Amino acid sequence: MNVFQPDKLFGIIGHPLGHTMSPLLHNWGFAQQNIRAVYMAWPTQPESIENFMHTFRTLPVSGASVTIPHKISVMDYIDKLTDRAKAIGAVNTLYWRNDQVIGDNTDTAGVSEPLRPHCAQVKKALLIGAGGASRAAIVGLQSLQIEEIHITNRTQSKAGDLAEEFNVSTVDWDNRGDQHYDLIVNSTSLGMSGKLEKINPMILDNQDANTIVYDLVYNPLETVLLREAAARKCKTIHGIEMFLHQGLAQFKIWTGYDLDETAARKLLLSRL
Ligand code: ATR
């Protein structure tokens, strides 16, 4: 009997992990590139992060993806943070360099890469939300050299704190639909369970075919925000792009290879 013996081991830590598509993407990628590696799901409770990191250092694990609830707590157990992980204050990727465990964050690529082909036309952007995902979104938007970035959030003080830290401006939650934007990015979880009416009705009032609307949520694929945006002829970008590009960036860090973006997208869409 032929038994597959991988040379390298990767995986994802988080809890819960039931819905993750990361094993699908990375195992497909290894097969595409003829890399003898395997990527597993390692459900890890919050209190087990220290044990996990001990295991990571002891067993021959080459790298890992990190998701909720460990993106911040894992930083206590690594040797070095990349600049972007430092700026975001969270880690989603672990890898080894010169016997050191490095913590990086490719969520910025998940925000910036789908927008890069359009960024020449984006001068003024509105970011909805001021939580953990919003920090990666700001760093991603700033990497595109967008001139004006505004943040709006239900809790104004959190928008204010973030705006001060990243040197961008705020828009009052009540006035969030008053201006035209070239780009609107939703970094709240409001699209996930039909709660979008809370942000939706007015936010699109002044938007048109010159507005790009990017919802970082991909469950469901077509959120109410994107449906309404499409009805107003805005250009829409699905949250699956966020997942895809953060994953492609991880794969590149671990292997040095660029995967076929179109084929990877097709694979993910076929499983949603
Ligand atoms: P994550 O790490 O996924 O970003 P988070 O840090 O809890 O999660 O942030 C959730 C974001 O969604 C916040 O911007 C939150 O707004 P508040 O800061 O006012 O809580 C936003 N959010 C969640 N539920 C909301 C709702 N019902 N209406 C408006 N904003 C909401």
Percent of the chain with pLDDT over 90: 83
Q: And the tokens for 28? A: 């497909």
Q: % helix / strand / coil in the chain, to the nearest 5?
A: 45, 20, 35
What are the pLDDT digits (tens) for 62-102?
Answer: 999 999 999 999 999 999 999 999 999 999 999 999 999 99
User: Taking the C-alpha atoms of 29, 236, 177 and 124 in order, what is their torsion angle to the nearest 10 degrees?
Assistant: 70
Lowest mean per-residue pLDDT among 53-57, 200-204, 211-215: 200-204
| Residue in this structure with the two tokens 């070239």, named with its chain if needed | 182
Q: Check whether 3 has a pLDDT greater than 80.
A: no
pLDDT at residue 203, rounded to an integer: 84
| Residue in this structure with the two tokens 């990877």, named with its chain if needed | 264
pLDDT at residue 223, rounded to an integer: 84
**Is residue 195 within 6 Å of ligand 1 at its C-beta?**
yes
Q: Check whether 185 has a pLDDT greater than 60.
A: yes
Give me the interface pTM, i.e. the ipTM: 0.96
Which among 188, 197, 215, 216 is the best mutation to test ligand 1's pocket, defined by most ligand atoms within 8 Å of the CB? 188
199-202 contact pairs (CB < 8 A, 24+): 199/128, 199/225, 200/224, 200/225, 200/228, 201/177, 202/176, 202/177
**Is residue 132 within 6 Å of ligand 1 at its C-beta?**
yes
pLDDT at residue 1, rounded to an integer: 63
Please report, for the chain, the start and end positions of each structural domain, with discontinuous segments joined by +.
Answer: 8-105+243-271, 109-238
Stronger pLDDT, 18 or 147, i.e. the higher one: 147
The closest-lying atom of ligand 1 relative to the alpha carbon of residue 159 is: 18
The closest-lying atom of ligand 1 relative to the alpha carbon of residue 128 is: 14
Using 50, 70 and 90 to split pLDDT, how confident is the model at 168?
very high
- How far is the C-alpha of 25 from the C-alpha of 81, rounded, in Å? 25
Q: Do domains 8-105+243-271 and 109-238 have the same CATH topology?
A: yes
CATH label, 8-105+243-271, candidates 3.20.20.10, 3.40.50.10860, 3.40.50.970, 3.40.50.300: 3.40.50.10860
**Is residue 155 within 6 Å of ligand 1 at its C-beta?**
yes
- How far is the C-alpha of 200 from the C-alpha of 225, rounded, in Å? 6
Query: What is the distance in A from the centroid of ligand 1 to the CA of 22?
Result: 24
Q: Check whether 198 has a pLDDT greater than 60.
A: no
**Is residue 161 within 6 Å of ligand 1 at its C-beta?**
no
Provide mean pLDDT across the span 202-207. Answer: 87
Phi and psi dihedrals of 22, rounded to 5? -60, -45
What are the pLDDT digits (tens) for 29-52?
Answer: 999 999 999 999 999 999 999 999
Q: Check whether 263 has a pLDDT greater than 60.
A: yes
Q: And the tokens for 258? A: 């660029």
Which among 67, 154, 215 is the best mutation to test ligand 1's pocket, defined by most ligand atoms within 8 Å of the CB? 154
Query: What is the distance in A from the centroid of ligand 1 to the CA of 218?
Result: 16
Q: Is 71 one of the annotated active-site residues of the chain?
A: yes
103 is in an annotated binding site: no
pLDDT at residue 34, rounded to an integer: 96
pLDDT at residue 218, rounded to an integer: 80
130 is in an annotated binding site: yes
- CB–CB of 158/106 below 8 Å? no
Q: Which CATH number describes the domain made up of 109-238?
A: 3.40.50.720
Using 50, 70 and 90 to split pLDDT, how confident is the model at 192?
low
Q: Which of 192, 199, 71, 69 is nearest to 135 (CA)?
A: 71
Using 50, 70 and 90 to split pLDDT, how confident is the model at 4?
confident
**Is residue 133 within 6 Å of ligand 1 at its C-beta?**
yes
Cβ-based neighbour number of residue 261 at 10 Å: 13
Q: Check whether 228 has a pLDDT greater than 70.
A: yes
155 is in an annotated binding site: yes
Q: Check whether 191 has a pLDDT greater than 90.
A: no
- Average pLDDT of the chain? 93
Cβ-based neighbour number of residue 183 at 10 Å: 27
pLDDT at residue 190, rounded to an integer: 77
Name residues whose C-beta falls within 8 Å of residue 170's C-beta, 6 or more positions apart in sequence: 150, 151, 152, 153, 156, 159, 160, 163
Residue 62: helix, strand or coil by DSSP? strand
Q: Check whether 6 has a pLDDT greater than 60.
A: yes
Q: Check whether 157 has a pLDDT greater than 90.
A: yes
Q: Check whether 231 has a pLDDT greater than 70.
A: yes
